[in-house]
Chain A
Amino acid sequence: MRAITSKSFICLAITLVLFPFLGFSNGEKTISEAEKEFNPTDMIMHHIGDAHGWHFMGSGDNSVTLPLPVILYTDSGLVTFMSSEFHHDIEGKHIVEKNGMRFVNFHEDIYQLNEGETAVKFNEAHYPINASKPLDFSITKNVAAMLLTVIVMLLFFFKLARFHKKNDRAPAGLNNVLESLVLFVRDEIAIPQIGKKKYAKFMPFLLTVFFFIWITNLLGLLPGAANVTGNISVTVALGLFTFIIILINGNKDYWKHILWMPGVPTPVRLILAPIELIGMFIKPIALMIRLFANITAGHIIILSLLGLIFILESAGVAGISVPFALFITILELLVAFLQAFIFTMLSALFIGMAVAEHEHH
């Protein structure tokens, strides 16, 4: 009891000490008023979106940004240059000239200016009208973060594999944690959903996806990290993997249950077929939206809480919003695991449904 009271007292004290700054801060607005107004939506979208450079801190030319390669497939072949050539401009003002083509970065979309144009023109909806988008294969922030996950996974699991090559003993420390998770995927996800006879074939996919999502989620929580699994393109690719695996491995029973449901009258079959056909697509789509929405939502909540400090223009708000953001971050640690688990679990479930051998009705 005493511990709790003293803790709540400390919280109260911090709040009381910090809140008065709310009042004082209004008087010191002169500098910030001169600068551009803080736009929380832009800030949050910038943080959760993909980018062509890996921005850590600062703004404009003072920013600390890791330049990443921009790879564009234009009508006249591949064009590559480093993202630093845009000089941190995302307003479409700074023009990069390569092979006689002009490129601008407009809100992290790369536009190629039409022949002869020297500046981007916008219409009323603030949309470029004299430029087109080439196919963008850039190593963006998300791709770089993805590669970081790959490096982490290769390091960790090759180490575990090397350990197992040397001896038959149970591993200790990090190896033990990783092995327990491998066993968790095998015993709690793959075997119950797919069955003991067929699970082994899908283990590489399930394990890789589970650890890829989990580690990427965790790395995404670090300050300055990319929001990879909260990007719809990434989850689309992940969902497509599950979808294609189901299509390749679906057995005769699976297709029969979709197209011509056994054991029901023909009119019902005609109604069920389109529903089942749509369901076939909805399953992976639900997978991709669930992962994307959960991770993005977590990032938005944390950024919103921290954004409150800048919206209210008071360091005092930090006393409230930083503990809240910390709480959400800890919650996100759980969500990171949970979403990896759910994605893998449902993938295994759908695969299990596709390869199940039905008893004939």
Chain B
Amino acid sequence: MNLITPEFGLIFWQTIVLLVLIFLMAKFAWKPILSAVKKREDSINGALDAAEKARLEMENLKASNEKLLAEARAERDNMLKEARSIKDKMIAEATEDAQEKANKILTNAQQSIEAEKKAALAEVKNEVATLSLEIAQKVVMKELASKEDQMKLVNNMLEDVKLN
């Protein structure tokens, strides 16, 4: 058997063997193996895609959470600021009100005091007048019990008038 001379028998057998082998392997080995590998690759890729998607979603969620938090914080700050201003305003208003009321009360008090004072003075005056008149009546009555007394008085009075 020469080294470099092809033998027909061996070529024949190799061809038959390879044909049968390709047929058998294609049908019973390569097809199931390749399809299983493909299926697994697809599932791995799918899982990776899903993981990536979940990661992105998580990131989105985190971002929106942070946004929400910032918004809430801003709102709280706003509310605090508003409350503070309302408080200041209320205090100012109350103070003003109180001042006004106090002033009013004070004025009223002063007015009533003044009135009372006037009334009291008037009464005192009346009282004094009445008392004076009674005293004067009594005095006059006593003074003017005699004629000469009456004349003396008139004279005195007249003298006073001249003095004035």
Contact = CB atoms under 8 A, between A and B. Distances in A.
A306 interface: no
Contacts of B21: 150, 153, 208, 212
Given A150-B21, A153-B21, A240-B15, A233 B43 contact: no
B37 A139 contact: no
Interface stretch (A19-27, A161-169, A270-278): A161-169
B6 A233 contact: yes
Q: How large is the interface on B (under 10, 10 to 19, 20 to 34, 35 or more residues)?
A: 20 to 34
Contact of B7 (A136, A154, A168): A136
A137 B9 contact: yes
B11 A203 contact: no
Nearest to B24: A154
Contacts of B1: 49-51, 107-109
Contact of A168 (B9, B24, B26, B39): B39
Interface stretch (A94-102, A179-187, A308-316): A179-187
Contact of A164 (B12, B22, B32, B43): B32
Interface in A211-252: 212, 231-234, 236-238, 240-241
Contacts of B154: none
Nearest to A109: B1
A143 B39 CA distance: 37
A107 B18 CA distance: 27
Contacts of A193: none
Contacts of A186: 34
Contacts, number: 120
Nearest to B32: A161
Contacts of A354: none
A344 interface: no
Contacts of A339: none
Contact of B26 (A109, A138, A208): A208
A150 B17 contact: yes
Interface in A105-149: 107-109, 135-140, 142-143, 146-147
Contact of A234 (B8, B14, B43): B14
A135 B9 contact: yes
B5 A139 contact: no
A50 B13 CA distance: 13
A207 B28 CA distance: 13
Contacts of B12: 137
A143 B8 CA distance: 12
A296 interface: yes
A9 interface: no
B10 interface: yes
Max chain A CB contacts within 10 Å: which of B13, B32, B40, B43?
A: B13
Contact of B36 (A71, A136, A147, A168): A168
B3 interface: yes
Contacts of A139: 13
Given A109-B1, A150-B21, A157-B25, A236 B34 contact: no
Contacts of B9: 71, 135-138, 140, 233
Contacts of B115: none
A226 B11 CA distance: 16
Nearest to B23: A204
A48 interface: yes
B33 interface: yes
B28 A158 contact: yes
Given A150-B17, A182-B33, A208 B11 contact: no
30 contacts: A45-B3, A51-B1, A137-B9, A140-B9, A140-B10, A146-B14, A153-B25, A154-B24, A158-B29, A160-B29, A161-B33, A164-B36, A164-B37, A168-B39, A168-B43, A179-B33, A179-B37, A203-B34, A204-B26, A204-B30, A208-B26, A212-B18, A212-B21, A231-B10, A233-B6, A236-B11, A237-B10, A238-B14, A241-B18, A296-B3
Given A147-B17, A158-B29, 20 more contacts: A71-B9, A142-B10, A146-B14, A153-B25, A157-B33, A161-B28, A161-B29, A164-B33, A168-B43, A169-B40, A179-B37, A183-B37, A186-B34, A208-B18, A208-B21, A233-B6, A233-B7, A233-B9, A238-B18, A240-B15
